[in-house]
Amino acid sequence: MGTQASGPRITLSYRSLEWIGGVDGHLRLLDQTRLPEAVDYLDCRSAEEVWDAIRRLCVRGAPAIGVAAAYGAVLGCSRREPLRWEDVEQICAYLKTCRPTAVNLGWALDRMLRTAQRCLTEGSGTSGRMALPASLLREAQAIEQEDRETCQALGRNGAELIPDGGAVLTHCNTGALAAAGIGTALAALFAAWEQGKRFTVWVDETRPLLQGARLTAWELHQRGIPAAVLCDHAAGQLMGAGKVQVVIVGADRIAANGDVANKIGTYGLAVLARAHGIPMYVSAPASTFDLSITGGWEIPIEQRSAEEVSVGLGRRTVPEGVEVYNPAFDVTPAEWISGIVTERGIIAPVNEARIRERLTT
Amino acid sequence: MGTQASGPRITLSYRSLEWIGGVDGHLRLLDQTRLPEAVDYLDCRSAEEVWDAIRRLCVRGAPAIGVAAAYGAVLGCSRREPLRWEDVEQICAYLKTCRPTAVNLGWALDRMLRTAQRCLTEGSGTSGRMALPASLLREAQAIEQEDRETCQALGRNGAELIPDGGAVLTHCNTGALAAAGIGTALAALFAAWEQGKRFTVWVDETRPLLQGARLTAWELHQRGIPAAVLCDHAAGQLMGAGKVQVVIVGADRIAANGDVANKIGTYGLAVLARAHGIPMYVSAPASTFDLSITGGWEIPIEQRSAEEVSVGLGRRTVPEGVEVYNPAFDVTPAEWISGIVTERGIIAPVNEARIRERLTT
């Protein structure tokens, strides 16, 4: 599998989510809407609460919302008696609707569905239904644990791309807050730092919700890695001044041809990086690839509310009556990406043949 | 001169600044830090108050701060008795320190200095000193009036670049709030709209202080021109989707070779526009050109406080202890600019010969 990390294991002092208790337990989320001002937790005891927490971005990041949704399915199923196949189907279908772009959500919920099916088929009648909640919890915990291992491997594989002595630019948040494990793109920085490499990190603040400023800067600061936050549109000037050696970002969905849907702004960064001859890498687990779609044009892009831009920071900044354009993601063409870091190694150049070779063999 | 507009004259219902009264009057500013929530005015009765208002961006935009500073010199000189040449020099030198990048500031204050010198030389002793306050006020009013005419010409000349039926992207604020007249880049949109052209305007919100969202959107909305505000880093995706036909921005200082210092983010927009084959224009009065410097590398770039980014919108968005990189401007190379609109016509291609030809003949 290549997911068994052999390098040093990175441990962090915080986690984005945690299952508390047994089959009748609940999901505890680090409420990311409150960072960096407060480290608060949110306890979710129903599928609806998880749906709402994902929608409101209390938990976000493609791998993390996959794990959170799996636990949401556990919560949705744990208090139904009798629990039927139709109920599981309905709960998973419901949870899939909370956000459209990240494919990890559907991927994790499909695993939960397959687990339910297997449990109901293997157990006979009542015994299968009785075993179902425990089976679902085990599967959600397996998804979480696999994500932890995957993130370690992403860190180890990505670390080799990080220069010793240079500067790295990143966008949005791709650390431990975006996953169950230590993250995707940011994991590479954690691992490189652990290896003794020294560098600074330019952190795009990432409007409108400032996941870079609020979350990535917080994570790097916790780890003692020097970081400087910039307004997103200052990235070009930095590149022009020779102050960026590599760009590394995450992904919310990657098409079979390698086109990458990621936080809005990634497309522009790729154009800038190309124009300045700076390598730009994407880091994502295999679960972020959607080989069922040909290219990025098929990826549904979530449009989020105008209020995130117009009043999101406490005061009205866009006049009443003026429209706001607020897509959450954009799609970067495969040919502009220098390589994609996965838990199974780095895919470069980025094209369908290399992707299928790396992910399916 | 080419500054006498022959097309229809655009009038707007608001103005960025106004001199109230005679020689002992004061400067009234539309307080731009309060828009769009409130239309408030700030009365400045001393050079120090004007200095502070410019520094705090109650009034901003290269042409507007030139005019405001000229009135600041009037205020600084109007209450001194006896008023000596050294006082005028000192007041103008002081006012020049409030912001470093926009050359209009120094340009306007140099005009005030020349006026004072002329007045003191022509008048003999006491009579020259007695006439000085009135002469300075007349000069400030002349600078203001010339800016009004210049803006009309910028609008008329720029309007021909605006498509009928397409979409225009702009950055920061370059309208009547950035000038004494109707603006620079935005004046082209006002004039094109007046001519019956129909288009929509993509307004970069322009972090950190959101002059696009707060001011440009407000001005366009006042005029009934359809506008949509976007996060700055969404511009690339819009261009990639074919939704931008032309980019037009202002300038804070233009070097002899045509390199343009303008609001941070302009450099990145130029790279994006070039990559997508979209023309990008700059609109600026002759007073924004600084023919004394060879290229953009000589332009001093103002670094503004970290707080604009980290707490500027009412809540802390960058963790304590994390650095912030907050340059107010960047420099775009001349060769990436399709043309510069001036009151004397459009300079294209942008190079030193064309600039000198247009501005000095």
**Percent of all residues in chain A with a pLDDT value above 90, rounded to a whole number:** 89
Q: Cite the active site residues of B.
A: 252
Is 80 exceeded by the pLDDT of residue A108?
yes
Omega before A349 within 30 of 0, i.e. cis: yes
The residue of chain B nearest to residue A212, with distances taken between CA atoms, is: B318
Q: For A187-224, write each residue's pLDDT tens digit.
A: 999 999 999 999 999 999 999 999 999 999 999 999 99
What does pLDDT average to in each consecutive run of 10 residues of chain B (361 residues)?
61 96 96 96 98 96 97 92 89 95 94 94 77 94 98 98 97 98 98 97 97 98 97 98 98 98 98 98 97 96 95 88 97 98 98 96 74
How confident is the model at residue A2, as a pLDDT?
A: 41
CA proximity to B216, closest of B183, B191, B239, B242:
B183
CB B76 within 8 Å of CB B40: no
Residue A129 has pLDDT above 90, yes or no: no
Residue in B228, B240, B309 closest to A231 by CB: B309
Pick from B352, B335, B233, B227: which is nearest to B282 by CA? B335
Could you tell me which residues come within 8 angstroms of residue A207 by beta carbon, excluding any fewer than 6 positions away? A232, A265, A309, B205, B207, B231, B232, B233
What is the Cα–Cα distance from A335 to A32, expressed in whole angstroms? Answer: 33
- Residue among A272, A313, A330 minimizing CB distance to B237: A330
Active-site annotation holder among A204, A252, A259, A290: A252
A151-183: buried (b, 16+ CB within 10 Å) or exposed (e) per residue? bbbbbbbbbebbeeeebbbbbbbbbbbbbbbbb
Stretch A261-265: mean pLDDT: 98
* Closest residue, chain B, to A313 (C-alpha): B313
- Cα B259 vs. chain centroid, distance in angstroms? 16
Q: Considering CB atoms only, which of B229, B313, B317 is closest to A318?
A: B229
What's the confidence (pLDDT) of residue A313? Answer: 73
pLDDT in tens, B290-322: 999 999 999 999 999 999 999 977 789 999 999
Task: Report pLDDT for A52.
Answer: 97
Contact B319 A217 (CB under 8 A): yes
User: What's the CA angle centered on B110, arms B106 and B111, to 5 degrees?
Assistant: 120
ipTM topping 0.90 = yes
Cα B109 to Cα A75, A97, B112, B113: the distances in Å are 70, 61, 5, 6
* Arithmetic mean of pLDDT, A86-112: 95
**pTM to 2 decimals?**
0.95
- Residue A3: pLDDT over 70: no
Note the pLDDT of residue A78: 87
- Which has the closest alpha carbon to A213: B315, B220, B88? B315
- pLDDT band at A6, cuts 50/70/90? low
DSSP 3-state of B59: coil
pLDDT at A5: 44
Q: Please report residues of B whose CB lies closer than 8 A to that of A229.
A: 309-310, 318, 322-325
- Give the model's pLDDT for residue B6: 62
Pairwise CA distance, residues B27 & B108, whole Å = 16
How far away is chain B from the Cα of A223, in angstroms, using its nearest Cα?
12
Contact between chains at A207 and B207 (C-beta distance less than 8 A): yes
What CA–CA distance (Å, rounded) separates A140 from B290? 64
- Give the model's pLDDT for residue A116: 94
CA distance A227 to chain B (A): 6
Would you state the pLDDT for residue A312?
Answer: 78
How far does the CA of residue B62 sit from the closest CA of chain A (Å)? Answer: 20
Give the chain B residue whose CA is nearest to the CA of A223.
B322
